Structure 1
Amino acid sequence: MTRYQPTEFSVTVCAADARALRVAVRGDLDYDSGDDFALTMFDMLREHAEEHGPTLRDLHLDWAELNAFDSSGLSVLLGVRRRAHAAGISLHLHHQPEFLARMLHVTGVADYLTQRARPGAEPESASASSAIGDSGGEAAPVS
């Protein structure tokens, strides 16, 4: 009998400057880890805005160490995209495993996720810090 062993999930900032943030995602982004991923990302974006102001334009997500991704992960990723675009931040998806690329293609969201954001283009974006600052609660640490 094969037993499912969940993979430890983590999100790590690899590099940051005023205009770009590079983040590595490792493990399984699924129903169990989706809320942690969302809260962690929203907190990272809020902290970046507090430190640098509304200057962030590019959020690079590295998926090289992603082991699994399900519809819950997709839903959370779409939420991150929505918040980022409202703040004028474009998503870049790097090193996508085949299963992630296939899901994004089959669901038709690959181009939507990586569409270039225009600062101030979306109606709800009063400012970058307000658009990304309301995470709806405290983030649980992701290890």
Structure 2
Amino acid sequence: MTPYQPTEFAVTVRAADARTLRVAVCGDLDFETTDAFALAMYDTLHVHAEEHGPTLRDLHLDWAELNAFDSSGLSALLGLRRRAHAAGISLHLHHQPDFLTRMLQVTGIADYLTQRAHPDGRASAPSAATGQRESAPVS
């Protein structure tokens, strides 16, 4: 068995325009790197807002190079979701490794993270009766 080799943690903006950001997360998102992740995402969103104003609507996170993810990473991702939705930005998760998908399913937050945000900071919530999305305030 090959011993685990940690990869240097990095958050990289891969593409950006006024309405969309594409960001790749590389390495381990865990207790040791969650502060770096939160700061990198805050800085990325801040720089985008300074350059384009409050036009960002979609934040795409690419997890293809993620090696590990723990509850601290989950907390950081939830914090990013709260900040993004308050600004009317929807999160999109791409190329999730199986361990990340499993954690999001076990904790029951996969749908919560990727709910569509409204420009005024409200989220779309599924209607219990129809399964269609309706406007609902974010709490």
TM-score range relative to shorter protein: 0.7 to 0.9
Contact 2:6 2:67 in 1 (8 A): no
- Cα distance, 1:119 vs structure 2: 1.2
Percent identical across equivalent pairs? 79
Which residue identity does 2:23 align to in structure 1? V
Q: TM-score by structure 1 length? A: 0.82
More strand by share: 2
For 1:68, the equivalent position in structure 2 comes to: 68
- Cα distance, 1:120 vs structure 2: 1.1
1:1-143 pair list within 5 angstroms:
5-122=5-122
Number of aligned positions between the proteins: 121
Q: Distance in 1 between matches of 2:21 and 2:7?
A: 25
Q: Which runs of 5+ in 2 are unaligned?
A: 123-139
Greater relative contact order (Cα < 8 A, sep 6+):
1
Q: 1:38-92 CA deviation, whole Å, 9 max, x = no partner?
A: 0110110011000000000000000000000000000000000000000000000
Which residue identity does 1:100 align to in structure 2? L
Q: TM-score by structure 2 length? A: 0.84
Q: Which runs of 5+ in 1 are unaligned?
A: 123-143
Q: Distance in 2 between matches of 1:82 and 1:43?
A: 16
Bigger-Rg structure (1/2): 2
- Cα distance, 1:6 vs structure 2: 2.8
Q: Distance in 2 between matches of 1:50 and 1:114?
A: 25
Q: Secondary structure in 1 aligned to 2:40?
A: helix
